[in-house]
């Protein structure tokens, strides 16, 4: 879902870079406040893993000739909280743009917005549920959250292209959103299902790595 | 680094290298959801000036000089994962040093 070079107008890429830059600054400040070695290591390996997972394009069911890949921003939001997830996704998108020509450099802010900030915030909201109680409700919220995060991001991509006059005049915004969201409904379902599987696995394998310790403190500080 | 953290690092990195270096070789090469949407809408030509990074070492997800094969892809997966890991460990170290409050490695109320 990376926006390639030359599709965003200067006004749009400047505005999205400003939004993402501010979000990154706030996330660095928030994440840095309770950073121990364990969380730094988790951020690092999860970043490496999400980068790798993004390389695995799978055929989109029901839409021949199309592939999709996991975004991972939502999953990171659930496992780490929104601020660290924004930091991790920004690092991934930066490497993809600078080293692998995946996404325009001028579009980096927009790509951080749609694949970093938006899914990280949705993931952070679902994380609160897991904290309270693991179970079917948290499972369902994770699947729906993963799907919603992808659809929200996809919709914002189309709005940005529309604002950039990068869609043909004959196509309405709603038509374009419809085409984009249909494909991403299916990609999002995969993202949601994969997120449920990974969160469950982590809870079974090493719950203390992700959900304990920080938990009590965060709730205390937000009260 | 504590033993538990070193284990997390090694296991996580191994998983990343396996997925990015090996599994990704079998990935679909079809256009992604956005590219397909843009093509279907007839909106796949850039209309503004854009900036693409020069392909210095990698051409998309292939190490230059190794063609299109397995190893070119494996090198991209490994290099990208390690680069992301290095950036995040570096950022983490900087943040921890800056926010160095009275350092308590374990949260006092854990467990």
pLDDT at B97: 85
| Residue B39 contacts A, CB cutoff 8 Å | no
pLDDT at A214: 37
Domain that holds residue B10: 1-24+69-98
Domain ranges in chain A are: 10-213
Judging contacts by C-beta atoms under 8 Å, the chain B residues touching residue A184 are: 33
- Contact between B1 and A37 using a beta-carbon 8 Å cutoff: yes
| Residue B15 contacts A, CB cutoff 8 Å | yes
CATH class of the domain whose range is A10-213: mainly alpha
Number of cross-chain residue pairs from A and B with Cβ atoms under 8 Å apart = 255
The beta-carbon neighbor of A36 closest among B53, B76, B105 is B105
pLDDT at B110: 45
Residue B60 bridge partners (DSSP): none
What ipTM is given for this predicted complex? 0.91
- Inside any domain, residue B76: yes
Looking at CA atoms only, how far is residue B85 from chain A in angstroms?
5
List pLDDT tens digits, range B4-50: 899 999 999 999 999 999 999 999 999 999 999 999 999 999 989 99
Q: Taking chain B, what is the end-to-end CA distance rounded to the nearest angstrom?
A: 21
Distance CA A72, CA B86 (A): 19
Judging contacts by C-beta atoms under 8 Å, the chain A residues touching residue B56 are: 99
pLDDT-based confidence at B76, cuts 50/70/90?
Answer: very high
CB neighbour class for A25 (10 Å; exposed up to 12, middle 13-18, buried from 19) = exposed
Q: Is A63 helix (H, G, I), strand (E, B) or coil?
A: coil
Q: Can you say how many angstroms the Cα of residue A26 is from the centroid of all Cα atoms in its chain? A: 17
pLDDT-based confidence at B102, cuts 50/70/90?
Answer: low
Judging contacts by C-beta atoms under 8 Å, the chain B residues touching residue A39 are: 92
**Phi/psi at B32 (nearest 5 deg)?**
-80, 180
Q: From B33, B37, B6, select the one nearest A70 (Cα to Cα).
A: B33
CB neighbour class for A117 (10 Å; exposed up to 12, middle 13-18, buried from 19) = buried
Query: Can you tell me the mean pLDDT for A192-219?
Result: 74
Judging contacts by C-beta atoms under 8 Å, the chain A residues touching residue B47 are: 6-7, 164-166
Q: Taking chain A, what is the end-to-end CA distance rounded to the nearest angstrom?
A: 37
Two tokens at B81?
A: 């994962």
Q: From A84, A82, A153, select the one nearest A124 (Cα to Cα).
A: A82
- Inside any domain, residue B37: no
pLDDT at A144: 98
Q: Which is higher by pLDDT, B39 or B1?
A: B39
List pLDDT tens digits, range A86-126: 999 999 999 999 999 999 999 999 999 999 999 999 999 99
Give Cα separations from A146 to A34, A38, A75, A135 (angstroms). Answer: 26, 26, 8, 17
Sign, CA dihedral A45-A51-A57-A61, equals: positive
Distance CA A81, CA A73 (A): 10
Rg of the Cα atoms in chain A: 17
- Inside any domain, residue B13: yes
List pLDDT tens digits, range A38-95: 999 999 999 999 999 999 999 998 899 999 999 999 999 999 999 999 999 999 999 9
pLDDT at B25: 96
- Contact between B92 and A40 using a beta-carbon 8 Å cutoff: yes
Query: Can you tell me the mean pLDDT for B51-60?
Result: 94
pLDDT at A209: 72
Tell whether pTM > 0.90. Answer: yes
DSSP for A68-80 reads E----HHHHHHHH
pLDDT at A135: 87
Q: From A31, A22, A24, A60, select the one nearest A150 (Cα to Cα).
A: A60
Q: What HEC string does A146-194 produce?
A: HHHHHHHHHHHHHHHHHHCCCCCCCCCHHHHHHHHHHHHHHHHHHHHHH
pLDDT-based confidence at A215, cuts 50/70/90?
Answer: very low
List pLDDT tens digits, range A113-170: 999 999 999 999 999 999 888 889 999 999 999 999 999 999 999 999 999 999 999 9
Region at B75 (left for phi over 0; alpha for psi -120 to 50; beta for the rest): alpha
Q: Is A46 helix (H, G, I), strand (E, B) or coil?
A: helix
- Contact between A105 and B31 using a beta-carbon 8 Å cutoff: no
Instruction: State the total domains in chain B.
Output: 1
- Inside any domain, residue B16: yes
Q: What percent of chain B stands above pLDDT 90?
A: 77
Question: Residue A119 in contact with residue A71, Cβ under 8 Å?
Answer: yes
Question: Mean pLDDT for chain A?
Answer: 92
- Contact between A55 and B50 using a beta-carbon 8 Å cutoff: no
With residue A29 as reference, give the H or E element that holds it.
helix A10-33
- Inside any domain, residue B106: no
Q: From B104, B88, B77, B23, select the one nearest A91 (Cα to Cα).
A: B88
Chain B, 58 to 97: residues with Cβ < 8 Å from chain A are 58-61, 73, 76-77, 79-85, 87-89, 91-93, 95-96
Judging contacts by C-beta atoms under 8 Å, the chain A residues touching residue B79 are: 99
Judging contacts by C-beta atoms under 8 Å, the chain B residues touching residue A105 are: 50-53
CA geometry: angle A142, B8, A91, nearest 5 deg: 65
- Inside any domain, residue B108: no
With residue A54 as reference, give the H or E element that holds it.
helix A37-54
């Amino acid at each position: 879902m990376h926006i390639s070079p030359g599709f965003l107008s200067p006004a749009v890429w400047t505005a999205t870079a400003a939004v993402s830059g501010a979000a990154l600054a706030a996330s660095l400040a928030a994440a840095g406040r309770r950073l121990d070695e364990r969380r730094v290591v988790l951020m690092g390996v999860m970043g490496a893993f999400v980068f790798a997972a993004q390389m695995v394009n799978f055929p989109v069911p029901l839409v021949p000739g199309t592939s999709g890949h996991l975004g991972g921003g939502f999953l990171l939001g659930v496992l780490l909280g929104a601020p660290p997830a924004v930091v991790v996704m920004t690092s991934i998108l930066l490497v993809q743009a600078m080293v692998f020509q995946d996404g325009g450099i001028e579009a980096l802010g927009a790509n951080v917005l749609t694949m970093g900030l938006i899914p990280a915030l949705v993931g952070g909201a679902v994380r609160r549920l897991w904290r309270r109680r693991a179970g079917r409700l948290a499972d369902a919220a994770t699947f729906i959250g993963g799907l919603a995060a992808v659809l929200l991001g996809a919709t914002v991509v189309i709005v940005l292209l529309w604002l950039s006059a990068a869609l043909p005049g004959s196509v309405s915004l709603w038509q374009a959103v419809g085409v984009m969201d249909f494909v991403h409904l299916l990609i999002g379902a995969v993202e949601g299902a994969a997120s449920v599987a990974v969160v469950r696995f982590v809870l079974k394998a090493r719950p203390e790595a992700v959900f304990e310790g920080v938990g009590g403190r965060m709730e205390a500080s937000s009260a | 680094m504590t033993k538990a953290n070193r284990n997390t690092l090694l296991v996580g990195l191994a998983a990343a290298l396996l997925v990015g270096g090996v599994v990704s070789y079998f990935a679909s090469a079809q256009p992604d959801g956005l590219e397909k949407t843009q093509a279907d809408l007839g909106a796949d030509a850039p209309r503004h000036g854009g900036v693409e990074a020069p392909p210095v070492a990698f051409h998309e997800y292939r190490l230059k000089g190794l063609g299109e094969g397995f190893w070119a892809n494996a090198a991209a997966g490994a290099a990208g994962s390690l680069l992301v890991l290095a950036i995040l460990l570096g950022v983490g170290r900087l943040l921890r040093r800056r926010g160095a409050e009275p350092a308590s490695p374990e949260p006092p109320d854990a467990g």
